[in-house]
Amino acid sequence: MFPIASPSSSSSKKYDVFLSFRGEDTRRSFTSHLHTALCRRDIETYIDNELPKGDGISQSLMEAIQDSSISVVVFSENYASSKWCLNELLQILHCKQQQGQIVVPIFYEIDPSHVRNQKGTYEKAFTEHLEKNQEKVDKWRQALFEIASLAGWDSRNYRDEVELIQNIVTDINKKLNHGSPTTILEDIVGIDENLDHIESLLEESSTIGIWGMAGIGKTTMATVLFAKLHSQFDSCCFLENFREKYEKSRLEHVRDELLRKLLKDTSLGRLNSRKVLIVLDDVSTTQQLDELKREVSCLGHGSKVIITSRDKHVLNGRVERIHEAKELSYNNSLKLFNLRAFHKDGYESEYEKLVERALAYAQGVPLALTILGSFLYSRTVKEWESALKKLERTPNQDIQAVLKLSYDGLDHEDKQIFLDIACFFKGELRRYVEAILENCGFAASIGLRTLMDKALISVSCDVVWMHDLIQSMAFDIIHQECITNPGGRSRLWKPDEIYDVLKNDRGTEAIQTISLDLSQIKDLELSNDVFRKMPNLRA
């Protein structure tokens, strides 16, 4: 599901918008209000606040026009009287013709035909220009005709400036792809499997949570949703890596970043009158949310807040609705994997069984499909076979590093419960698992709830389940306790390793739990002496 475009802008230009206008006509009125509205929508806008000096425009101004995605030209009554404005217009037309710059004309209290054909005040202005600037007049006339012939906005069609400016800003947002997910969705597979439900929840609620295991694509879902809805709000803020920012900085820094993006140049007291969109990505504790809520408690009507977390408990009682992020379907898993492994939607027949093995390993997790597919790209069939065989023994460390984030956030007892379930109790009845764990001295009921909230286990039909990738992570954690000697690990469940440890007395002090089926190792004679050598073995 990668790469992902930036939530704030899809343009590589320095500025989103360049404003061209006659200062004496609109600087303190319409253009000022338009500039403020654009900035509130996070649209990077260049406005020249210096009074023109001479007739020619400066090199820096020419560069600003060239380095903008869109030029907005405010044609007012006396626009054509300014040689400065007309020279700006020549540069704008040049950028439109040479680099495809988008140009949006606004006809502010003037008939568009007067601009196109130089009538009224424009005719008077050109009469004066003919006396001093004959060599440029034809170029200026042509520029006015071409720009004024483009689809634009006529202020006379609107009852007030507020409505006009709102429509202009929304249109510019769309032109910049701020409000359209098209460019973001181009390289994302299967996003609609989750996005449709999230959008329906957001229509009904002002605060929603996106919850699921690490690597499932929660951030991607929030990013696409942010891009899709961005243009519908007065201001927006996407706080990525919230957990990391909160832990590295004080709450005040996170709060200040949020308010800076939402308020721009307006006062804190007006936040409750603004319709805002906020995304808090990767929130890990209830404390983080509760403290931030105390600092920023009141948002305007129609505001929406989206929070992603690996811990359902963080969201419970703090959002109105929760969406559980799901794995990709088989067809979308296949498509995503093919795009990463073959850079196309398909593969040669000799890879068929290998692809099936890779899909079985990833089990619909976008992170795993992406990392594994990218690793296998351009490799031979023999190399694929070797890599997949290795995965069966040793999990991919890039995938494991992400999955392990939830495990690292557990306390010591919950870690032990998690490892026990992974090694011995996957697929067992919940009441049986709780009874065994309680007998070992664990607070099993709350422990299982914690693991469920963190998406490390699930319970379906009263049976405890765990995703294979998460179980593989647990196995690797046990393996890392002592890589060379199974007897130095806390849990043993593989018959060959148990046989080797017990038969050869290979250091058993670290062992806490053994899952032993004597039918699999019939020639092994066990006595009480064997178990006396395991002082940490749980009864």
Residue positions annotated with a catalytic role: 88
As a whole number of angstroms, the distance between CA 92 and CA 184 comes to 28
Tokens standing for 153? 């906005």
Residue 327, token pair as written in the block: 């794995």
User: Are the C-beta atoms of residues 364 and 328 closer than 8 Å to each other?
Assistant: yes
For tokens 């998460």, name the residue: 470
Backbone φ and ψ of 80, nearest 5°: -70, -15
What are 18's two structure tokens? 């360049």
- The residue count of the chain comes to 539
Residue 117 has which token pair?
């054909």
Token pair, residue 154, equals 């006529």
Structure token pair of residue 54: 């001479």
3-state secondary structure 342-359: CCCCCCCHHHHHHHHHHH
Closest CA to 106 of 161, 148, 61, 159: 148
Nearest of 43, 23, 157 to residue 84 by alpha carbon = 23
Contact indicator for 207, 319 with CB cutoff of 8 Å = yes
Whether 82 and 48 have beta carbons less than 8 Å apart is answered as: no
Query: Which residues fall within 8 angstroms of residue 301, CB to CB, at 6 or more apart?
Result: 275
The Cα 253–Cα 509 span in angstroms is 48
Q: Which amino acid is at 531?
A: F
Q: Hey, what are 254's tokens? A: 């996170």
The CA distance from 151 to 457, in Å, is 56
Beta bridge partners of 513: 491
